[in-house]
A and B are shown apart, each in its own frame.
Chain A
Amino acid sequence: MISATVSTQRKKIHPHKFTLWVGLGSIVMMFAGLTSAYIVKESQPEWTSVELPKVFYYSTAAIIASSITIQMALKAFKERSMMNYRRFITLTALLGTVFIILQLIGFSRMWGDGVDFKGSGAGQFLYIIFGLHVLHVLGGVVALLVIFFKAFSKRVRNYNPVTIELASTYWHFVDLLWIYLLVFFIWTL
């Protein structure tokens, strides 16, 4: 009876997926706020520019590759090919971790080149904007780890694709967000 009453509620899209989309909208607003603050400050006197270290391009390659692997994980899950699914989830989490490490290397290169918190300029924004993005990727990696351990659980066999679909949507989002941020900085610097 209960499931019958629930199913009479119209659901074109799963509510959790919808919640995620609205949440992504609010993350977009946060970064939109920061990048517009950057544009406002750019025109002020005493603004200093920085050079983007090459390592940020390598990290871009890593995160784009991870977007492909999570898509393949989703495909494997829907085909019930659990071995491949686990393999691709692991690969995605690893690539995500590589991305985070490369970002941190990028930060330390810039800091080593004398871009610090003194004065005012693009470097301070870059640390904060890229840093907040790294935190969002880290959140995605943690979510993937949870899914990863669930995938290896022998006790529960779950064929409900909602969780992995949520994870892949979020993962593609942080990928696209990174590409936007990178293009923004290449364009403005």
Chain B
Amino acid sequence: MSNEATHGHPEVVTTHEAHHDEHHVHHHKETFITKYVFSQDHKMIARQFLITGMAWAIIGGLMSVLFRLQLGYPDQSFPFLEDILGRWAKDGKITAESYYALVTMHGTVLVFFVLTGGLSGTFANFLIPLQIGARDMASPFLNMLSYWFFFIASVIMFSSLFVQTGPFSGGWTAYPPLSALGEASPGSKVGMDLWITSMALFVVSSLLGGLNYIATILNMRTKGMSMTRMPLTIWALFFTAVLGVLSFPVLLSGFILLLFDRHAGTSFYLDSIYIGSAALPNEGGSAILYQHLFWFLGHPEVYIIILPAMGIVSEVMSVNARKPIFGYMAMVGSLFAIAILAFLVWAHHMFVTGMNPFLGSVFVLLTLLIAIPSAIKVFNWLTTIWRGNIRFTPGMMFSLGFVSLFISGGLTGIFLGNSALDIALHDTYFVIAHFHIVMGVAGFFGMFAGIYHWFPKMFGRFLNNTMAYIHFWVTLIGSYLIFWPMHYEGLAGMPRRYLDYTNWLSFNQFDGLNKFISTVAMVVFAVQLMFIFNFFYSIFKGRRVTVKNPWGSSTLEWTTPIVAGHGNWPGEIPEVHRWAYDYSKDGREYISQTEPVTPDEKPH
């Protein structure tokens, strides 16, 4: 054993980690490449995810503006569209193929590349080590790989926009046979191959990231940081990572089978298909099988989007209401309940696939059960701000907006969760309105709350407040004006995914409404561009942060220097003595987690 003593204690400090810490505390040989490109610093990787995600958000948002032009003004032509899109918008009118390509890519980009990669990637990387008191992730190298897999996936997906036959156009869910047969549509040819390659790389990126987040949260917490002292952001990011690690591999399985159907002639998903008058040799496949595999990921995926937003909102709200979060353990418990239920409800996306009605009723029950943890969370947010000393910072405004959207969008989920109502409502604008409010816009609001709140920590400067308030009000009001009317269209039976409704007389009553929705969508998009301007302007010219803890927050990230180097704390990592939510306690505005508990205080 004497031998072991001379070689250090390998269980505690691996040679890699010791070297790693030493390297960055001394700050030698940090070149542009290692600092900004192939960085292993979790804070830089977070910023890389954020900026890549923002680039995707502009692309995905612009796509929605283009197809809203078509939906609002189906009888008019816009010559500038031909200048941008070329033959995809012949004579200034979007063609059917390009319309389907636009809606497919809009969904893929926003669901996966912005609200999964951009949201989780940014805040899990940024907040986990800072808020639990670690120098970096469990494996900074895997973390770097996670970003670069995301980057390569992005490049491949982006390149699919430029191939001759166009990007994939069979819907973001990529159901076969449209996704399995190259003959099915122009987008099903090389566009689909690029889509599936990109998504496979995206899955790898998510898995590498998720493994790291879980290992870091469970193993790298500083002294005194018990699980129940962690901020709720960390709990939410933890459950998000668990969902991703367990559900993305199943999607990958589905993609592998799809790839064999496309290129090796197998029949996992294909059965008795005629193209033109010729029958394909594929027999015995089941398209429903793909839907099971897809939605086994697809449903947890919506919680992968919303849980980080919930965590961010809980934290930002408590800080800015100057009150402890109401019902901390209930918040953790409801996150856990949502994570479990996420795996048991996937078939509610498949009520109209000819499923056994008795099986359907089980999924209805499990789906409606999600209302319970969701309601617990909403009540806890409302009771957190109840009689609080609220500071209406931009981050707080977006958090309040998130709760509003989550309630409005969540209630329509109760309609759609009923298999009987779903017969009428499936594939209508009601569904679009539901998931855009509860998952899309609410997810974005959580992300905006996080960006406005942690921007000072990320870049050492504040965002411009005036632009922030304009951004908030226009986005909130605009989102309701866009998606609220869609509920009525959906209840009237207007189906989604149609290029042109003009020949459908019963929907002519909505002509004016569709023009209105499209106009608001353009205004809201313009305001997002203003936010992008604010973001980049403030990185260089924003008001400087002069104190370590500008929001008076009790969590650990605000105990680091204003611009923290790799390793986060220059000296020792602080020890934690209390939970993250000691606000307005014993006549003090806030008590940092690092402050020891006094003898007459009850330890938390």
Contacts and interface: CB of A to CB of B under 8 A. Distances in A.
Interface of A: 1-16, 18-19, 22-23, 25-27, 29-34, 37, 40-41, 44-47, 80, 117-121, 124, 128, 132, 158-162
Contacts of B11: 11, 14, 162
A16 B281 CA distance: 48
A2 B18 contact: yes
Contacts of A32: 250
Contacts of A46: 283-284
Contacts of B25: 2
B180 interface: no
Given A6-B18, A15-B219, A30-B253, 4 more contacts: A9-B134, A18-B214, A19-B215, A29-B245
Given A19-B212, A30-B249, A47 B284 contact: yes
Q: Is the interface of A mostly helix, strand, loop or mixed?
A: helix
B256 A128 contact: yes
A176 B213 CA distance: 27
Nearest to A29: B249
Interface stretch (B157-165, B289-297, B504-512): B289-297
A150 to B, nearest CB: 12
A128 B260 contact: yes
A146 to B, nearest CB: 14
A116 B292 CA distance: 25
Given A9-B220, A13-B219, A19-B138, A119 B267 contact: yes
Nearest to B245: A26
24 contacts: A9-B134, A10-B223, A11-B219, A15-B139, A16-B215, A18-B219, A19-B214, A22-B210, A26-B207, A26-B245, A30-B249, A30-B253, A33-B254, A33-B293, A37-B253, A41-B268, A41-B289, A46-B284, A118-B265, A118-B281, A119-B284, A120-B271, A124-B266, A132-B256
Interface string B153-188: 000000000000000000000000000000000000
B4 interface: yes
B254 A22 contact: no
B10 A161 contact: yes
Interface string B221-248: 1110000000000000000000001111
B250 A29 contact: yes
B252 interface: yes
A19 B22 CA distance: 23
B268 A16 contact: no
A9 B254 CA distance: 40
A15 to B, nearest CB: 4
Given A25-B245, A117-B260, A41 B286 contact: yes
A5 B284 contact: no
Contacts, number: 162
Interface residues of B, number: 65
A19 B53 CA distance: 26
Given A26-B207, A26-B249, A160-B14, A120 B267 contact: yes
A30 B251 CA distance: 8
Contacts of A4: 572
Nearest to B25: A2
B465 interface: no
A117 B17 contact: no
B260 A15 contact: no
A8 B220 CA distance: 10
* 6 pairs of A and B residues whose beta carbons are closest in the complex: A120-B284, A46-B284, A30-B249, A33-B250, A15-B138, A33-B253
A117 B264 contact: yes
Contacts of A13: 219
Nearest to B254: A33
User: Which of A19, A119, A159, A161 has the most C-beta atoms of chain B within 10 angstroms of its own C-beta?
Assistant: A19
Contacts of A40: 286, 289, 292
Interface string B125-159: 00000000011001100100000000000000000
Nearest to A120: B284
Given A19-B138, A22-B214, A7 B283 contact: no
Contacts of B250: 29-30, 32-33
Contacts of B116: none
